[in-house]
Amino acid sequence: MAKGNSGLNAPCCRVCDGRLRVCVDFGSQALANALVAPGDDRREEFLYRLALGMCENCTLVQLVEEVPRGLMFRDDYPFYSSGSAVMAGHFAAVARRFLERELTGPDAFVVEIGSNDGIMLDTVRAAGVRHLGVDPSRRVCEVAAAKGVRHLNDFFEKSSAVEIAAAEGQADVIFSANTFSHLPYLDSVFEGITALLKPDGVFVFEDPYLGDIMERTSFDQIYDEHFYFFTARSARAMARRYGFELVDVEHLGVHGGEVRYTLTFAGSRRPGPAVAEMIAAEEAAGLHRPEVLAQFERRMQRTRDELLTLLRTLRDQGRTVMAYGATGKSTTVANYCGIGPDLVSCVIDNTPAKQGMLTPGTHIPIRSPQVFREAYPDYALLFAWNHAEEIMAKERGFTESGGQWILYIPQVHLV
């Protein structure tokens, strides 16, 4: 029987078929990146149940309901990775590291799953090394193509991976950032990686880390696209199940705390000490226990209540409030907390494709940074808190004019 959670059966793990213990529930939610055109605001939006479960067998934390991928990653998917200069620097460094350590052979080849606008592969292209990005969202691929980055506009899965291997040969490196966690259908993805990766190659992925999400109560990392929330322990169990070994882990500061996992075929490289160290730290923190998620749920409810109280008080005092960053994460915050245009007049965002649209579910208008600078509000709710340093430096004029930032991670506070 196919694995999955449609039908009447109790939810089960997409990797090992173990039973899922449902731990955190947001109820019915709109899709994080399904921005609404102003003329369409009366049309019914697609809703799904957003809830987390922990596998009683392998401990992998995952969503209990899968959204059809074609609804999320469409031609007009509006997230462009290169909107952040800090992330551009991060991915240029990732590419340089691969070029120095893994892509040193005569006809080296790297494949990226979820290459988006070419933010990482552009550095590989500039070095003249063979590469291919795979991404189903057409408009972001067009930006990559304009940079000269080679890409396949498709979903990475078994069939596309086998085709790439036949046409281009096997890869030294398969890399994926903020995308592997978006792929519920891991049986097919791992069959694809198995076909496409050289016997001594590496598969490297980086994604938001469950440990950071629990520590910072960053509940907004939970939305339709983020299907899996890995730990070193659950990633190792997954790797072994598919014939791989987790040989390295590295904690990263980007996007509010991530881990970069390095996998090889089992037996190809020896695991470094960081893997056992991280798993021991996770055990000490109880990350494999459902109670940790229950405590997290209570903290996120407190954040919701405090944020709503603050925003209502500011409104009642006649203060002006805008939000900053029409992030995927903010769809969870706004819909879960009940933040609409009555509390926040608009959301500022530097992505041209988002400007002029309305936020999913809550229908707050999205405006350009120019609107912010023309008439600063009294307060700005920082939805893109993971880019706080970059945005606050860019918008120094706001605080100089007496404005204050509202943050809600790790708890509600003013800056």
Binding site for ligand DWN (CB under 6 A): 79, 83-84, 178, 225, 325-329, 349-351, 354, 384, 386-387, 390-391, 394
- 169 phi-psi bin (left φ>0, alpha ψ -120 to 50, beta other): left
- Provide, rounded to whole angstroms, the least separation between the CB of residue 164 and Zn ion: 29
| 351 binds, options ligand DWN, Zn ion, ligand SAH, none, Cβ within 5 to 8 A by partner type | ligand DWN
Q: Is 324 in the site for ligand SAH (CB under 6 A)?
A: no
Closer CB to ligand DWN, residue 117 or residue 172? 117
Q: Is 83 in the site for ligand SAH (CB under 6 A)?
A: no
- Provide, rounded to whole angstroms, the least separation between the CB of residue 117 and ligand SAH: 8
Residue type, 87: M
Extended strands (E) in 143-196: 151-152, 171-177
Three-state secondary structure call for residue 256: helix
Binding ligand SAH (rule: CB under 6 A), the pick from 5, 33, 81, 264 is 81
Residue 276: partners with Cβ closer than 8 Å, 6 or more residues away:
none
Q: Is 123 in the site for ligand SAH (CB under 6 A)?
A: no
Three-state secondary structure call for residue 226: coil
Cα-trace Rg, the chain: 21
How does 184-222 read in b/e, with b if 16+ C-beta sit within 10 Å?
bbbbbbbbbbbbbbbeebbbbbbbbbbbbbbebbbbbbb
Binding Zn ion (rule: CB under 5 A), the pick from 11, 13, 82, 359 is 13
| 325 binds, options ligand SAH, Zn ion, ligand DWN, none, Cβ within 5 to 8 A by partner type | ligand DWN
Binding ligand SAH (rule: CB under 6 A), the pick from 54, 63, 124, 183 is 183
Rounded Cα gap, residues 229 and 235, in angstroms:
9
Q: Does residue 175 contact residue 112 with C-beta atoms inside 8 Å?
A: yes
**Residues found near ligand SAH in the complex (CB under 6 A):** 73, 77, 79, 81, 113-114, 116, 119, 134-137, 140, 155-157, 177-179, 182-183
**Residues found near Zn ion in the complex (CB under 5 A):** 13, 15-16, 18, 55, 57-58, 60
